[in-house]
């Protein structure tokens, strides 16, 4: 007969109690799925488990290496060990990351990549993802051996980030308490590192996969409400916008392209004679690349009023410095910075519209640039009488199911 007592101190270890046919009871400390030698009492098992935790965390019980269940002692760092019939490299999470990711951000500081895995395309990892690794994941999981990290460890990182007790790199500007969505994004970066570890034979599985299942049960993400403006409210917001930004604001609210798609919209993709715009690229996280999905590549025909605004925007784009040759260039001649546009153009326009009574105050408090996409969808369905399939094509959704799930409740106004 076998019973289990969960170790509550960390949530990542347990004490397995086995009772033989002769009535003898044996206590086994279990850490990271590894069974360690039996002890005579539950108190001794508790102490052994505490020693394992301390050693693995780099505390008083050791230098940060996970103890080996064999009599040979700890597995050699940099060597290999056989687990479940598979041989894996023994490497700490911090060592793996510093060898394969951080050099692509700052080769002067970290030296050339010389780890187990020479990751193809490591230079494509942007600064934000590498910042998550250095500022969050390494402080939380750095001393641990990669093949011993389990789903409970991932959940512990998420809970620590949400509740504010997870360690972060000293001197970093990371917030202690983060949203569920932010913690999920950080764990997604962890999952990407584990995909590389599997290729490099430094892990047996991706623990994030199992952790996601439990995370959905523990933490329910309640997305912020995105209100939709009525046509009159949208017109008021556009009129309260700086003149040379009115065309971009109107395009976002009338046809619902994503802000990154408008920021990256090249001049060559606008046909002023026919009134067509072609969306085939997007700017995200400081880089220009393909649209979110293949279905997001689309051509939209705009109305005559919108076409007049876009013609004026085109005239201005040809007169100001515009090294990227986009329809809506930034003040320095490059791409518009989304954060700067939101703070210096969008939010002031919303405040002016609220102050003038053009937008209700409770709606203005919830408005963000992406709400203009919902505004476009609602107005196309409610006031323009467009079919759901037409809205799907204009918004660039992958399938009709996405459009229906988001806007199926919107009923056209009749009479």
What is the residue extent of each domain of the chain? 2-57, 80-218, 231-407
- pLDDT-above-90 percentage for the chain: 35
Residue 213, C-beta contacts closer than 8 angstroms, at least 6 positions apart: none
Q: Over the stretch 287-304, which tens digit does the pLDDT of each residue have?
A: 888 898 888 999 999 999
Alpha carbons within 13 angstroms on the beta-carbon side of residue 95 total 16
pTM recorded for the entire structure: 0.55
Between 296 and 62, where is the model more confident?
A: 296
- Do 281 and 273 touch, CB atoms closer than 8 A? no
Task: Return left, alpha or beta for 171; rule: phi > 0 is left, psi -120 to 50 is alpha, else beta.
Answer: left
Dihedral sign computed on CA atoms, order 237, 239, 243, 244? positive
Average pLDDT, the chain: 80
Q: Over the stretch 364-414, which tens digit does the pLDDT of each residue have?
A: 988 989 999 999 999 999 999 899 999 999 999 988 998 998 888 887 755
- Do 137 and 186 touch, CB atoms closer than 8 A? yes
Beta bridge partners of 120: none
Q: Over the stretch 26-50, which tens digit does the pLDDT of each residue have?
A: 777 766 555 666 777 888 878 877 7
CATH architecture of residue range(s) 80-218: Orthogonal Bundle (1.10)
DSSP string, 158-206: HHHHHHT-S---TT----SS--HHHHHHHHHHHHHHHHHHHHTTS-SS-
Residue 248 has φ and ψ, to the nearest 5°, of -65, -45
pLDDT band at residue 240 using 50, 70 and 90 as cut-offs: very high
Residue 414 has φ and ψ, to the nearest 5°, of -115, 160
Residue 8, C-beta contacts closer than 8 angstroms, at least 6 positions apart: none
Strands 34-35 and 13-19: unpaired
Q: Over the stretch 165-191, which tens digit does the pLDDT of each residue have?
A: 888 888 777 777 888 888 888 998 899
Cα–Cα distances in Å, from 236 out to 217, 218, 373?
42, 42, 17
pLDDT band at residue 66 using 50, 70 and 90 as cut-offs: very low
- Do 237 and 350 touch, CB atoms closer than 8 A? yes
Residues in the chain: 415
pLDDT band at residue 9 using 50, 70 and 90 as cut-offs: very low
DSSP state of 266: B
Cα–Cα distances in Å, from 108 out to 59, 102, 405?
31, 10, 49
- First-last CA distance in the chain: 73
**CA-CA distance, 65 to 76, in Å (whole number)?**
9
- Do 293 and 359 touch, CB atoms closer than 8 A? no
Alpha carbons within 13 angstroms on the beta-carbon side of residue 186 total 30
What CATH number is given for 231-407 in this structure? 1.10.443.10
**CA-CA distance, 138 to 83, in Å (whole number)?**
24
pLDDT at residue 75 greater than cutoff 70? no
**CA-CA distance, 351 to 47, in Å (whole number)?**
60
């Amino acid at each position: 007969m076998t019973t289990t007592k969960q170790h509550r101190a960390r949530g990542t270890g347990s004490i397995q109690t086995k009772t033989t046919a002769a009535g003898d009871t044996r206590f086994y400390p279990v850490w990271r799925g590894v069974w360690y030698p039996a002890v005579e009492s539950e108190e001794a098992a508790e102490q052994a488990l505490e020693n394992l935790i301390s050693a693995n965390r780099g505390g008083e019980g050791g230098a940060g290496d996970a103890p080996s269940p064999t009599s040979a002692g700890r597995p050699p760092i940099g060597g290999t060990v056989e687990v479940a019939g598979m041989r894996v490299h023994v490497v700490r999470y911090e060592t793996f990351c510093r060898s394969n990711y951080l050099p692509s951000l700052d080769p002067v500081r970290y030296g050339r990549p010389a780890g187990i895995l020479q990751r193809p395309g490591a230079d494509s990892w942007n600064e934000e993802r590498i910042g998550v690794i250095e500022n969050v994941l390494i402080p939380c999981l750095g001393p641990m051996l990669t093949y011993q990290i389990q789903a409970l460890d991932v959940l512990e990182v998420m809970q620590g980030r949400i509740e504010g007790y997870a360690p972060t790199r000293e001197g970093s500007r990371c917030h202690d308490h983060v949203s569920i969505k932010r913690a999920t994004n950080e764990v997604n970066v962890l999952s990407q590192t584990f995909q590389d570890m599997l290729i490099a034979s430094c892990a047996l599985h991706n623990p994030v996969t199992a952790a996601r299942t439990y995370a959905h049960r523990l933490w329910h993400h309640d997305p912020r409400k995105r209100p939709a403006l009525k046509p009159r409210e949208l017109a008021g917001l556009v009129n309260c916008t700086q003149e040379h930004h009115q065309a971009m604001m109107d395009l976002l609210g009338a046809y619902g392209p994503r802000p990154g798609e408008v920021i990256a919209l090249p001049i060559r993709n606008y046909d002023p004679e026919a009134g067509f715009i072609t969306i085939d690229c997007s700017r995200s996280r400081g880089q220009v690349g393909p649209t979110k999905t293949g279905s997001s590549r689309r051509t939209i025909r705009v109305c005559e009023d919108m076409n007049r605004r876009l013609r004026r925007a085109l005239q201005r784009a040809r007169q100001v410095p515009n090294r990227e040759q986009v329809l809506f260039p930034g003040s320095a001649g490059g791409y518009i910075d989304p954060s700067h546009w939101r703070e210096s153009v969008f939010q002031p326009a919303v405040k002016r519209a609220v102050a003038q009574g053009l937008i209700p105050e409770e709606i203005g408090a919830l408005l963000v640039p992406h709400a203009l996409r919902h505004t476009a969808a609602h107005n196309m369905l409610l006031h323009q009488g467009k079919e759901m399939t037409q809205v799907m094509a204009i918004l660039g959704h992958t399938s009709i199911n996405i459009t229906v799930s988001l806007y199926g409740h919107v009923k056209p106004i009749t009479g």
